[in-house]
Amino acid sequence: MPEYILTGRVGGGPRYTQIVVARSADEAVRIFRDDGFADVVLHTDDNAAYFLKPSKVVKAFSPRDFIGYRTRGRLDCMLFLAWKLYVQSWWAYAFCLIALAGRWWLWAEWNIIDVVAVSFLLFPIWFATYAELTSKVVPYRRALKAVLHARWEDVARHMRRVRMALPPFERPFREAQALAGLGRLDEALDHFRPVVDDPEMPHHMYWTYKALIYQTAREREKALECVARAAELAPENPVALIDHALALLTVRNDVRSARDLLTRARQHALSDVSTPLCEFAEGVLALKDRRPAEAVPLFESAAAGLRPFTAGNPAIGIIIARIQANLALAHSAIGDHEAARRAYRKAAPILGPHDALELARCREVLG
């Protein structure tokens, strides 16, 4: 059964983060609310729940710790690990600190005891630094940062060095994405094709990631066909519906169909990641429907909602750049040209290598 992580509070009390086993995100939210929780935040959508198993590491990391890693950069991860080590044996470190302070207060001569005590007190910091510098996650993070900047040769090189456990589709997808970015689309599709036969891979997600490979190769129509297939296979999956709606809006300006898809998506539980994606799509819908004043707050909320996750996954910055480009168009449509230029300047460095067409539309509108 899939595992979902949710946060909520009972009455006016503190917020609790728990694992809920359920058949879907909708059911997980219902179970959580039936247990008396309100102000519920869903952290795991239906796609992620297929692969994330927080119960396997719950002895070392609480559910709150588990979701916290999504918004932590390298320094934050290092400091968090050091803090965890201090907390786990706080009494030993407290005793050592008191003993060391007592010796200093008595002006005791510095000797090997003091060296050992200081070394013991600093051990969590040293260990956390070593663990972060030698972590198996480092090459993968570098690959994601290379994806952000469309350095496809670096993506391929870093992925070859990744030794950490990944979802079954992630390695072939990133390798195929790198090939597509290098102009070798046929080779990329051949490389990714075996994933469809993996029994652990939900069929709709195969089409979702295949769409991203086409998108990397700037084959927008083919990417649209793939997300349409994903939505057809998973008609109750809000992420698939949002992806399809965005593609219809950006490729075909199909406002009517996109509105129907987003209405259906809003009928389901949205996670803290899929909610900003839905706001992004709703902002594009408002912009295409000639309601730019309504689009601006949606784009701003979407960018703010996604930004914390770039620490754990830099590639999310590509989506934020797309949001900024559309925000520039919305500001321009309501006559705020200075705000439009600011949004464009934020989007251009990232979006240029990924979606020149979308950026060209901004330049055309902004002059």
**CA–CA dist 264, 274 (Å, integer):** 14
pLDDT at 364: 82
Of all residues in the chain, what percent carry a pLDDT higher than 70? 99
pLDDT at 58: 80
More confident residue, 113 or 253: 253
pLDDT at 152: 97
Does the pTM surpass 0.85? The reply is yes
pLDDT at 112: 78
pLDDT at 205: 94
Domain annotation for the chain: domains and CATH numbers:
3-70 (no CATH), 74-133 (no CATH), 152-234 (1.25.40), 235-367 (1.25.40.10)
The contacts found for 78-83 with CB under 8 angstroms, 24 or more apart, are 78/128, 78/129, 78/131, 78/132, 79/128, 81/124, 81/127, 81/128, 81/131, 81/132, 82/124, 82/125, 82/127, 82/128, 83/124
User: Considering the chain, what is the average pLDDT of its residues?
Assistant: 91
